[in-house]
Structure 1
Amino acid sequence: MVPLLAALSVLQMVSGTVLETYEEALLENPALLILVPVQIGTAGNLASIMCSRLSTGIHLGTFELSPSNPAVRANVGAVFALAATVFSAVGVAAWGLGRLLGGSLGLADVLTVSLLSGMALAVLVVVMSLLAVQASYRIGLNPDDTTIPIVTNLCDVGGVLILFAVVAVVL
């Protein structure tokens, strides 16, 4: 696990470097500044839930990486439903707090950024969770030990990149 954790630590430094490049835009728009940790944390939580459920499926013998597997479909549906619900609430809350802090972004803009980036993060969560659980199991590692650190770190970096890609397109 030490090499894996070392590689993931380097990946986290990349995420911090990306955030630094957008420092000025974040300070100008407090709502976006509020979205960064919430989006990343929520994506990590969704990834943890998905990996835990899939790992449990492996231990129970019900996991099969197939779109026809009802357990996989149910977990994917749950992640997207949670993402839509949570990122909608996050968008409204970030807009409200951003306005209190002097921001000028409208509700529609903040909500669009939150929802689009959140749903894109949900896609990343699903893909990375499925791949991490399958790969971990195939190489003989316990997915309970390996998948959550991998997927949450990838979602941190991916979350920052996705958020600012959506910001560049929407705003």
Structure 2
Amino acid sequence: MSYYTIQGIVRSSAPILAFTSIIGIAAGQIMNTRLDSLLSLPILLLLIPALIKIGGDTGSMLAARLASAFHMGLGTTQIHKNPVVRNSLIAAFIVGTSASVAVSVLVWIAGHFLTMSLPFLVIFQLCIIAEIFELIVVYAATLGIAIASHRFGLDPDDTIIPMIATLGDLVGVLAIFATINLFNII
């Protein structure tokens, strides 16, 4: 008999997918409230999709690594001192910040070609500050959800990854708008 059944997967995934749908709609509505200001500076429209995906994607990568570690029994004892968890967090943070730097350079270059540029330093600061805030929140949530799903016997692949990808979108949008307000860009 198989461990996974269609009914079991649907029963465990349906609430998660409903929850992530609501979070995704909320992130879209937050962007919708700022649409006029975003249209006044179109270079931000190049920046936002890339930045919000970095947090969700690297958070999902971290979630997959933690799920594998927990399945193998490597990450369940003394989480705060565990080298598997610590190294996974460090690696994901390096990937996320490196991607943020690359996005800032690419968006600045694209902005020059499309004649809608901002100074490089402004784009760079916006990317780095927004992304660091997003990564901290998303990685903390990833760790918490991974531990909780493992302790409650839920399949982490069905719970963590969809939740973190969607949470990355919401936190990313909030982080970008908070950073835009911090620098008074629009």
Say if 2:48 and 2:176, in contact at 8 Å, map to a contact too. Answer: yes
**Letter of the structure 1 residue corresponding to residue 138 of structure 2:** V
Structure 2, unmatched stretches of 5+, are 1-12
Map residues 23-62 of structure 1 onto 2, 5 A cutoff.
Answer: 23-62=35-74
Once the two structures are superposed, residues 112-158 of structure 1 have per-residue CA deviations (whole angstroms, 9 ceiling, x without a partner) of 00011111111122101101111111221111221100111111111
CA distance in 1, matches of 2:53, 2:97: 15
CA distance in 2, matches of 1:162, 1:53: 25
Say if 1:30 and 1:101, in contact at 8 Å, map to a contact too. Answer: no
Map residues 12-161 of structure 1 onto 2, 5 A cutoff.
Answer: 12-64=24-76, 66-161=79-174
**Letter of the structure 1 residue corresponding to residue 82 of structure 2:** N
RMSD: 1.3
Identity across the alignment (%): 32
Say if 2:41 and 2:116, in contact at 8 Å, map to a contact too. Answer: yes
**Letter of the structure 2 residue corresponding to residue 117 of structure 1:** A
**Letter of the structure 1 residue corresponding to residue 87 of structure 2:** A
Map residues 154-169 of structure 1 onto 2, 5 A cutoff.
Answer: 154-169=167-182
State the TM-score, normalizing by the size of structure 2: 0.87
Rg: which structure is higher?
A: 2
Q: Secondary structure at the match of 2:79?
A: coil
**Change in 2 beyond 3 A, CA 1:25/1:99:** farther
CA distance in 1, matches of 2:98, 2:138: 16
**Letter of the structure 2 residue corresponding to residue 33 of structure 1:** L
CA distance in 1, matches of 2:96, 2:20: 24
Structure 1, unmatched stretches of 5+, are none
Q: Secondary structure at the match of 2:81?
A: coil
State the TM-score, normalizing by the size of structure 1: 0.94
Q: How far is 1:46 from its partner?
A: 0.1
CA distance in 2, matches of 1:90, 1:3: 34
Say if 2:108 and 2:117, in contact at 8 Å, map to a contact too. Answer: no
